Amino acid sequence: MFMRIKLSTGKLYWLFAVLYFVLLFLLVQVEKKDPNANIKTFYDGIWYSVVTLTTVGYGDYYPVSALGKILGLVVIFSSLGVLGFLIGNFTNIIRNRMEKKKRGFFGTDFSNHFVIIGWDSFAKNVADQIVNANCNIAVVTNNNTDLELIKDMYPEKRVFVLLADFENHEALLKVNIQGSNSVFVNFSDDTKSLIYIINLKKQYNVNVVVALQTSELKETFQTVGVNYIVSKNDITSKLVASYIFEPDVAAFTEDLIETSVKENDFDMHEFKIIESNPFLEVNYFDAFVKLKKEYNCVLVGITKIIDGQRTLIKNPTEDLNIEINDYILIIAGANFKKKIEDDFGVKEGVIN
Between 3.40.50.10300, 3.40.50.2000, 3.40.50.150, 3.30.70.1450, what CATH number should domain 263-344 receive? 3.30.70.1450
Report the distance separating Cα 126 and Cα 232, nearest Å. 13
Helix, strand, coil shares of the chain as percentages rounded to 5?
Answer: 50, 15, 35
Q: Where are the alpha helices (H) located in 204-351, listed in sequence order?
A: 218-223, 232-245, 247-257, 284-295, 334-344
> Taking the CA atoms of the chain, what radius of gyration do you get in angstroms?
33
What residues contact residue 24 under an 8 Å CB cut-off, 6+ apart?
Answer: 42, 45, 46, 49, 75
β-strands 208-212, 182-185: how paired? parallel
For the chain, residues with pLDDT lower than 70 are: 1-10, 12-13, 54-58, 79-80, 82-83, 259-264, 352
Beta-bridge mates of residue 138: 115, 160
Element of type H or E holding 291: helix 284-295
Report the distance separating Cα 133 and Cα 126, nearest Å. 11
Which pLDDT score is estimated for 134?
Answer: 84
Domain 9-102 in this protein, CATH class:
mainly alpha
Which pLDDT score is estimated for 260?
Answer: 61
Stated pTM of the model: 0.71
Q: Is 138 helix (H, G, I), strand (E, B) or coil?
A: strand
Which pLDDT score is estimated for 140?
Answer: 97
The full set of domain ranges for the chain reads 9-102, 114-235, 263-344
CATH number for region 114-235: 3.40.50.720
Beta-bridge mates of residue 208: 183
- HSE-CB at 188 with a 13 A cutoff on CA atoms is 3
Q: Is 301 helix (H, G, I), strand (E, B) or coil?
A: strand
Element of type H or E holding 332: strand 327-333
Which pLDDT score is estimated for 10?
Answer: 62
51, amino acid identity: V
* Domain 9-102 matches domain 114-235 at the CATH topology level: no
Report the distance separating Cα 268 and Cα 258, nearest Å. 8
Element of type H or E holding 303: strand 298-306
